[in-house]
Amino acid sequence: MGRITLENVTKRFGDVEVIPPLNLDINDGEFVVFVGPSGCGKSTLLRLIAGLEDTSGGRILIDGQDATSTPPAKRGLAMVFQSYALYPHMSVRKNIAFPMRMAGVPQDEQDRRIESAAKALNLTNYLDRKPGQLSGGQRQRVAIGRAIVREPSAFLFDEPLSNLDAALRVGMRLEISELHNRLETTMIYVTHDQVEAMTMADKIVVLQAGRIEQVGSPMELYRAPRNLFVAGFIGSPRMNLIDGPAAAEYDATTIGVRPEHIAVSGTEGKWKGRIGVSEHLGSDTFFYVEDTGLAETITVRAGGDIDLHHGDTVWLSPDIAQMHRFDANGDRIA
C-alpha cells in the first residue's frame, strides 16, 4: 500500500516560505510526477515526504497514518537520488544489500532479492564491481535496485535522469515505466523535464513557487491547461501564446495555439508571415515564422514532406476548436 496524503503542508527556511500550505492526494499505485522550473519547490516537497526535511506545518499521512514526525527510515519509502548516492566503498552487491542489512533481513532472503533485482536490471555481471567502475546508466540501475529490494510502499525519484546523456535518458525512462507497470507500486518522480512528465505520469503535479498550479493526467493538462503557466510549460515545442488585437478578436487577453494546431499553406490563410528557420526532421517539419504582425515568432508543426523553406512566404490558420483562451489574470476562459 502506498497512499500518501499531504494536508496543509508548509515549509519555511528562516523567514522564506518555500512551500505555502499545500494539499495533495496520491493514490496507491499511482505514478505521480512533480514538474516545474528549477527552484519551484518540487525537490523540497519530495524531501518533506521522504522525511529528510522537517515540515514547518501541516501533516503528512502515509496509508492513513500520521507520519509527519516519523524518521525517514521508518516511513517505508525508498528514494533514488539525483547523484545516485551509491556508497563508493561497497560493491554493487553490498550497495543493494545495505537497506536489507539495516532491516535485518535474513541472508538467504537478501541473496534471493539481490538476484532477482540484478536480473531485472541487467546487473548480474556487475555485482562485484565498485560504483566507480560503472557507467552512469549502470549506477542509476544500482540505485534503483537498492530501492527495489526494500519493497517500499512508495518510490521517490529526485531528478534521476538528469545526469545521463540524451539517448540513455530515453532508455531509462522506459525502464522506469516498465518497472512501475510490473511492481504497481506508488512512485513519486521529480523532474524539470515536461517530456518525462508527459511520458511517464499517471498524474502530473505542476508546481511554481511552491504552489500547485494544476493537477491532472498528462492529456488533461495538454488539452485544458488551467492557466498561462501550465499552458507554456506542458507541450513541446511550446504553445504559441499571442496577445493584443489578435487575441481580442476571440474575446481573450491571450490566446494559445499549439504548433500542431496551426495549418500552414503557401497560398492562403489567416496570418501572413515569412519562414525564419525551418527544421526538417523527416517525420515532422518545424517552421519558425516571423513578420506575422503578431508579437512573437510563431512555431508551427507541419508534415515531414512539406516543401517550404527559409525565406518563403506562408499563410497560417489556427484551428479554432483547439485554441486556448486566457483572461487578464492568465486563467483559462472555459
Partner 1 sequence: MARAVSSRAKVGYTVAAWIVALLIFFPILYTIITSLKSEQEAIAGFDLIPSFTLESFRAVQTQNDYWKPFTNSVILSLGSTLLALIVAIPAAWAMAFSPTKRTKDILMWMLSTKMMPAVAVLVPIYLIFLRTGLMDTRIGLTVMLMLINLPIVVWMLYTYFREIPGEILEAARMDGATLRDEIVHVLTPMAVPGIASTLLLNVILAWNEAFWTIQLTTTNAAPLSAFIASFSSPQGLFWAKLSAASVLAIAPILILGWFSQKQLVRGLTFGAVK
Partner 2 sequence: MATRQTASLARLMRAPAIILLLIWMIVPLGMTLYYSFLNYNLLNPAGTSWAGWFNYRYFYTDPAFFDAIRNTLVLVLGVLVITVVGGIAIALLIDKPIWGQGIVRILIISPFFVMPPVAALIWKNMIMHPSYGVFADLAQVLGMQPVDWFAQFPLTSIIVIVAWQWLPFATLILLTSLQSLDGEQMEAAEMDGASALSRFIHLTLPHMARAITVVILIQTIFLLGIYAEILVTTNGGPGNASTNLTYLIYRAARLNFDIGGAAAGGIIAVILANLVAIFLMRAVGKNLD
Kindly list the residues in this chain that would bind partner 2 in the complex (CB under 8 A).
52-54
Beta strands 203-208 and 31-35: pairing type? parallel
Residue 87 contacts residue 31 (beta carbons within 8 Å): no
| Torsion of Cα atoms, 22 then 28 then 31 then 32, to 10° | 0
Please report, as a single letter, which amino acid is at residue 124.
T
Q: Tell me how crowded residue 329 is: count the other CB atoms within 10 A of its CB.
A: 8
Which of partner 2, partner 1, none is residue 54 near (CB under 5 to 8 Å by kind)? partner 2
Closest residue by Cα to residue 30 from 146, 232, 268, 203: 203
Which of partner 1, partner 2, none is residue 79 near (CB under 5 to 8 Å by kind)? partner 1
Q: Which is nearer to partner 2, 35 or 48 (CB)?
A: 48
Alpha-carbon gap, residue 97 to 113, rounded angstroms: 9
Q: Which is nearer to partner 2, 72 or 276 (CB)?
A: 72
Q: Which is nearer to partner 2, 51 or 218 (CB)?
A: 51
Which of partner 2, partner 1, none is residue 53 near (CB under 5 to 8 Å by kind)? partner 2
Question: What's the grid cell of residue 161?
Answer: 535522469
Least distance CB 76 / partner 2 (angstroms): 18
Helix (H) or strand (E) holding 197: helix 194-200
Q: Which is nearer to partner 1, 73 or 219 (CB)?
A: 73
Please report, as a single letter, which amino acid is at residue 295.
A
Q: Which is nearer to partner 2, 72 or 330 (CB)?
A: 72
Which of partner 1, partner 2, none is residue 82 near (CB under 5 to 8 Å by kind)? partner 1
Alpha-carbon gap, residue 207 to 157, rounded angstroms: 16
Q: Which is nearer to partner 1, 74 or 223 (CB)?
A: 74
Which of partner 2, partner 1, none is residue 73 near (CB under 5 to 8 Å by kind)? partner 1
> Bridge partners of 299?
288
Residues that bind partner 1 in the complex, under the rule CB under 8 A: 50, 52, 71-74, 77-79, 81-83, 85-90, 98-99, 102-103, 146, 150
Closest residue by Cα to residue 263 from 306, 230, 220, 295: 306
Least distance CB 65 / partner 2 (angstroms): 19
Residue 307 contacts residue 265 (beta carbons within 8 Å): no
Q: Which is nearer to partner 1, 83 or 313 (CB)?
A: 83
Written as one string, the DSSP assignment of 221-256 is HHH--SBHHHHHHSSSSPPEEEESHHHHTTT-SEEE
Least distance CB 47 / partner 2 (angstroms): 8
Least distance CB 156 / partner 1 (angstroms): 8
Which of partner 1, partner 2, none is residue 139 near (CB under 5 to 8 Å by kind)? none
Least distance CB 61 / partner 1 (angstroms): 19
